[in-house]
Structure 1
Amino acid sequence: MSRRHTQLGFDFFDAAPAAAESSSAPAAPTPMIVSPSFTQSVTLAVTQLVTQVFSPVLTPAFVPTPPKPVEHDSRPSRGRTAVRARTAVLFSRLDDLGLRGVDALVLMRTRTVMVSLIGRTLRIHEGYADAPESVLRAIVAFAIARNKTARTTAREAILAFDVERGPSVRRHEPARPGDVAMIAQLMDAHRELNAKWFDGALSAMPLRLSGRMATRLGHYDPGSRHTPPEIVMSRTHITRHGWREAMHTLLHEMVHQWQHETGQPLDHGAGFREKARDVGITPAARRDVTPLEKRRKATG
């Protein structure tokens, strides 16, 4: 005798056909056909019951949350592996452009030195890792240059590509007695020298005194996108060597200011020496700082 089972409206039969059933056997029960609407109602009721029973014990960990949108950071990764990968890619690009005589490449993050070649190690600011090919060719030319002219040309092309150097932190030492009056005199002197030797073309410049300069007499800082330019004068130099020598140093730094404001490189090259002679100062990066009175006595 075969049996016929019904589950949720779907019929399952034994292997024996219904025709082979004995006529004397009791009639099989009429299968209950469940309509689709009834099935949906049962399913909905069960779902609501499970929700009411188990919802109080569900913790937030089991509640699915929508995925957070991925934020793309435009800054290069600073991980060690990422830096090694960027270095390898840049080294390969430079090698394809003709780089020779370099055994190692180092990506660095500095504010002043953009590219330097020390021995057979080429050090490059990380901002040039994604520079266009024209800039990379200039870096190759700088590294393999055999004369000063070629290196200067390459240097100008490299510096023309702006990289993010980050904000600089200037350490301002506490003011000392007499600093306010001395700075006021330096500001007046800058204004007078600007009118006399530069036709008033230079910008008004903040001046600062420093007691930390061990070897330098003065310094011109071109600043950055985060900090303004400034001229720093050695306090010891002014008090020890006198006002006339201080004016010589101030003019020296103003020539550097002139270089910067006219788009020239900050160096002590031919352009600096020519302008220094025009304004009447010694065209040299280093000079004798012995006070004039002692020099007159020494020369008799």
Structure 2
Amino acid sequence: MTTVAEAPQRPAPKFDLANALQHFATLAIFLVLVVVASVWSDSFLTRVNILNVLRQVASGAGIMAVGMLFVILTRGIDLSVGSVAALGSVLTAYFIHFSGYGTATTILLVILCGMACGLTTGFFVAYLRLPSFVMSLAMLAIARGLSLIISEGRPIPLGTEGSAFADFGSGFAFGLPLPVWLMFAVFLIGGLVLNFTRFGRIVKAIGSNEEAVRLSGIAVPRYILTVYVVSGALAAIAGIISTCRTGVGSAQVGVGAELNVIAAVVIGGASLMGGRGGVINTLLGALVMGIIANIMNLGGVPGYHQQVYMGIIILVAMLLQYGTGRLKH
């Protein structure tokens, strides 16, 4: 009589607290903030206020956060995004109001200008090995200066020629503002590229171990250059959206935005040491920043104080990131 051998028992999977924190901490923060904001103000969960938060995120940290995520994944930083957004805002109104270009031509030219800013930063970082902090700081000054020169320090109105932009800024589709749908589309494309393409895998690998990627025969500088070009293009798009919403191109767009964008990415769980980060958590991080700003506005917190609180939030996020790293080891 034969007997069937018993299959070996597999050990039950262990709960990984560090992994759980890494993947769900941002979602937990987001949900807690929604509850706190709802208790704090009866106005928070109203449709008007929620749409206002989404609009603010779409024209602020939202779209730029995708580009910043790609840069941070390579262990870089792009401090110029706010200034490039300002340049994009000014150029949008300038091309429409003074040059008479059509909508499609204006959008193309503005995005190309943003890409040129990213290309300049990326070239010096990728090929000349200059620190990304220093180079992007230089581009911050250059782009902001150009926006002030072009606008002569004054807002440039879109006028009647920019009605298509104004319609987009105030338009709705399926109950949501059009800029919000554009933001979701950018995040969707960013997620697909990051998770399902060779480019995305290599970007993550560069941040994890650049030397290993280089030794495998991959042209690392080309990928680093590309992420800065993407960041510049998305910053320019954010500038276009800002102009669509307000009806004017202003050199004051994006002042201090780099702080919010970096905070959104870090709160989303991305590591400033590169190689770790995701698009969904970055979206949640951007929404967290939008909710925090909205809570402070509803509570009447002065603008200068808000900057202090934003800095504290970044510090807390970094401490949480450090604590998660310690748990994993």
Same fold (TM over 0.5): no
TM-score (norm 2): 0.20
Q: Please state which structure has a larger fraction of its residues in helix.
A: 2
Q: Rg: which structure is higher?
A: 1
Q: Please state which structure has a larger fraction of its residues in strand.
A: 1
1 or 2 for the larger relative contact order (CA 8 Å, sep ≥6)?
Answer: 2
